[in-house]
Structure 1
C-alpha cells in the first residue's frame, strides 16, 4: 500500500467534503493489486475465505516521514458472502469516503471526489485485509503466479519474493485472527499496518 495515500490532511478532507457531496465515477477492473511498488498479484476469490463474514475493523497505518513517525486511521466495514465482498471505509465522524465491491472476477471501487490522492486505493485496503485474514491456501495460487510464496506458522505469516527475500511479515496476537490485533509489516516499503477487529460475525 502506498503510504503517502494514508497521509490524510484534516483540512483537505474538510474542504473536499464541503466542495463535493458526491463520489467519483465507479471504476471497474480485474482484481490485481500492488504487492510492492513494481509487482502486482491477483486477489483470491471472495468465497475462498471459506465462510461468510461481517466485520467492523480499524486500520492504523504508521510510517516514517523524515525524523517523525506518521500515523493515520481508517475505520472499515467488511462483508463477505458466498459470491461477493463489500468493503467501505469511513471518516472519523462516520462519512463513507471509500467503497469497493468484489464479485466474480471484477472489482468496482469508489472514492469520495477530491480524495483520490489523499486516501489509500480501496483495492490496496482490500489487499491488506485479504492477505492477513484469508487462508494460506487461498493465496498460494495467486502468489505462485509471480513465483512468490507464503509460509504460515502458529502466530505469523511471511511472504517471500521470487529471490527468497521476505517482503511482508504478519504477526497475530490470537489464534483466531479476527479476535486479536494483526500487525502487518512491509519490509521493503517500510510501513506498518495494525488491524484491530472491533466486532465480527462468522457464518458457514
Structure 2
C-alpha cells in the first residue's frame, strides 16, 4: 500500500511539474529598451539604480485595465523587479546586471501580455535623476514643463511622465499594446 501511495505521489508530482513548466517563460536581452521604430534607451547600471533603494509600486496598465503590485529591489550589482498577482504570489522576476536583462515570467499567474522591460524603464524614469539618464543616453533631451517631463531622442517624443502627488502617469508615444501606465508609489 505504501508503494502504491508513493507511485501515485511521484506521478502527480511529475504531472504538476510538467504542466507548470509550460507556463514559465525565460528571456534574456540587453540593457537597451526599444521604444518604437529604431528608437531605444539604455538603462543606467544597477549602481546608479541602487540610489533609489527599494520601492513598492502599484502599476496600472490602462490599455489592459490590469493592476499589478511591483517591487523593485536593488544593490550595487543587480536590480530586480518583482511582479505579484492580486493574491500575493510572485508571477514575474526581472533581473538586471552586467548590461543584461533576464525575465522569468510565470504566464499562468500573471496573465498579462506586455513588455516588462518598458514597465521597468518607466518605473526607473520616475525615480532616477535626469543626469544619470544623460550619461548612458547622450542623444536624449529631457524637457520639463510644469509637472510633465518629456523625453525626446532625435527630435522624436519617446515618452512623457506627469506627476500628481504620489501618482505618475507615463505615456509612451507609440502604437503598441503598452501605451499608458499609471504608477502609484506605496
TM-score by length of 1: 0.69
Deviations 1:146-170 (A, max 9, x none): x3322235633111131x2433111
**What secondary structure is seen at the aligned counterpart in 2 of 1:151?**
strand
CA–CA distance in structure 1, aligned partners of residues 52 and 76 of structure 2: 6
Give the equivalent residue in structure 1 for 2:36. 36
Report the RMSD for the aligned CA atoms in angstroms.
2.7
Q: Is the 8 A contact 1:86 1:102 kept in 2?
A: yes
Q: 1:117-132, aligned counterparts within 5 Å?
A: 118-132=112-126
Structure 2 stretches lacking a partner, 5+ long: 1-18
Q: Is the 8 A contact 2:52 2:127 kept in 1?
A: no
Which deviates more, 48-57 or 128-137?
48-57
Give the equivalent residue in structure 2 for 1:186. 172
Structure 1 stretches lacking a partner, 5+ long: 1-18, 64-69, 175-179, 199-204
2:89 is the counterpart of 1:98: no
CA–CA distance in structure 2, aligned partners of residues 54 and 23 of structure 1: 28
Q: How many residues align?
A: 166
Q: In 2 relative to 1, CA 92–37 (structure 1 residues): closer, same or farther, beyond 3 Å?
A: farther
Higher helix fraction (1 or 2)? 2
Larger Rg: 2
Flag the structure with more relative contact order, 1 or 2, with Cα contacts below 8 A and sequence separation at least 6. Answer: 1
**What secondary structure is seen at the aligned counterpart in 2 of 1:36?**
coil
Deviations 1:29-73 (A, max 9, x none): 32111122542222111221362511211101213xxxxxx5211
**What secondary structure is seen at the aligned counterpart in 2 of 1:51?**
helix
Deviations 1:168-195 (A, max 9, x none): 1111224xxxxx1111122333832110
TM-score by length of 2: 0.75
**What secondary structure is seen at the aligned counterpart in 1 of 2:150?**
strand
2:68 is the counterpart of 1:87: no
Q: Is the 8 A contact 1:55 1:79 kept in 2?
A: yes
Displacement of 1:87:
1.0
